[in-house]
Amino acid sequence: MSAFGYELLASDGAARRGRLTTAHGPVETPAFMPVGTAATVKGMTAEMVAETGAQMVLANTYHLMLRPGAERVAKLGGLHKFMDWQGPILTDSGGFQVMSLAELRKITEEGVTFRSHIDGAKVTLTPERSVEIQHQLDATVTMVFDECTPWPVSETDAAASMRLSMRWAERSRAAFVERPGYALFGIVQGSAFRDLREESAKALTNVGFDGYAVGGLAVGEGQAMMFEMLEATVPHLPAGTPHYLMGVGKPADIVGAVARGIDLFDCVLPTRSGRTGQAFTRAGTLNMRNARHAEDGGPLDPECRCPACRGHSRAYLHHLFKADEMLGPILLTAHNLTYYQDLMRDIGDAIEAGTFAELVRAHAPVEAGAAS
């Protein structure tokens, strides 16, 4: 089995096209990982997810440790077998979900104690336990346990939070079991403070990880601030490793982040939008519940290869959502994920051709219009 690695294939400015080598197959980058929080991309079979062009998916430590339990998944052969996904899987360590628990949690140097949102049971999650759970799940890429700093936050509090995460990152590194083709990623924190982001990036680099994520963004700070923090962070990350922006985002966010040296993305937006009737198309976003689609016999996006666009009209999709038929969210989720995968392919092609700046300009106005 080959070692985990990142190969740079082409660049255009700071934008990079590359390839990950993993224990569960290669991943062409830039790449978007569909979110399968509870070991399922909602409404999609593994085969359907693969047909969108996705090569790697994300699952979540917090949710899977509570239900069905990491030990049970391990007993059943690991997450790849459990969810019938043979490609690489990255598991979020649970830090973001713990942040969202607010008053239900208690953070100490040791870790986080919280109440399960399922049954109220008291649970303690430490860096060591988070890494152990991800090992039991057989995650291809394990994430260090961190505190996702909330927004807004003072610089003093952001510094304390970031430095706690750096100490936890060292403990996560020590707990990780090295295996060929598997990886552990560090997570840069520091909120919206450039000096803290640089300090965090350097601290993680000194420990040494297989890849580096930028966390604590897309939590309300806005696109301009997010881009500024990427510009303050990515230059301090090792060039020979993958760079991952967690929880992002809209197509314009992805294009802008690639322009600043990011390789990997995940976000619930395309799947959540698919369930609520919003479609991403090359002509902008569309709300399939709007009456204007009721008698439109044309496809959602004439250039799209997904099942919704190949076999159905806008009028039919509109009908499905108005009738609350489950096929509507399924078809629109497949469409949105296909759109995102095609976007990543187009980005990679543009980087290789040296025309990435043109793609950036082409996508900038798309996000400006409201869903129609």
Going by C-alpha positions, the residue among 160, 170, 172, 145 that lies closest to residue 196 is: 160
Determine the pLDDT at residue 150.
87
Q: Give pLDDT, residue 369.
A: 37
Q: CA-to-CA distance for 230 and 192, rounded, in angstroms?
A: 10
| pLDDT, one tens digit for every residue, the chain (372 residues) | 679 999 999 999 999 999 999 999 999 999 999 999 999 999 999 999 999 999 999 999 999 999 999 999 999 999 999 999 999 999 999 877 776 765 578 899 999 998 888 888 888 999 999 999 999 999 999 999 999 998 999 999 999 999 999 999 999 999 999 999 999 999 999 999 999 999 999 999 999 999 999 999 999 999 999 999 999 999 999 999 999 999 999 999 999 999 999 999 999 999 999 999 999 999 999 999 999 999 999 999 999 999 999 999 999 999 999 999 999 999 999 999 999 999 999 999 999 999 999 999 988 743 433 456
Element (H, E) at 18: strand 15-21
CA distance 57 to 341: 12
Cβ atoms within 10 Å, residue 295: 10
Number of H helices, E strands in the chain: 15, 16
Q: Catalytic positions, please?
A: 92, 266
Count the neighbouring beta carbons within 10 Å of the beta carbon of residue 111.
20
> What pLDDT sits at residue 120?
85
Q: What is the pTM of this model?
A: 0.96
Q: What is the DSSP string of 200-257?
A: HHHHHHHH--SEEEE-S-SSSS-HHHHHHHHHHHGGGS-TTS-EEETTB--HHHHHHH
Alpha carbon of residue 263 to chain centroid: 11
**CA neighbours closer than 13 Å in the CB half-sphere of residue 313:** 10
Question: For residues 107 and 160, is the Cβ–Cβ distance under 8 A?
Answer: no
Q: Residue 101: which of 88, 120, 87 has the closest Cα?
A: 120
Q: Are 130 and 110 in contact (CB under 8 A)?
A: no
What is the C-alpha separation between 298 and 292, in angstroms, rounded? 12
CATH topology classification for 5-266: TIM Barrel (3.20.20)
Q: Output the pLDDT for position 103.
A: 59
Strand residue runs (E) in 227-362:
243-245, 264-266, 278-281, 284-287
The domain segmentation of the chain, as residue ranges, is 5-266, 273-368
**Separation between Cα atoms, residue 172 and residue 185, nearest integer Å:** 10
Q: How many Cβ atoms are within 10 Å of 127's Cβ, its own excluded?
A: 26
Handedness of CA 37, 43, 46, 50 (dihedral sign): negative
Res 235: pLDDT = 98
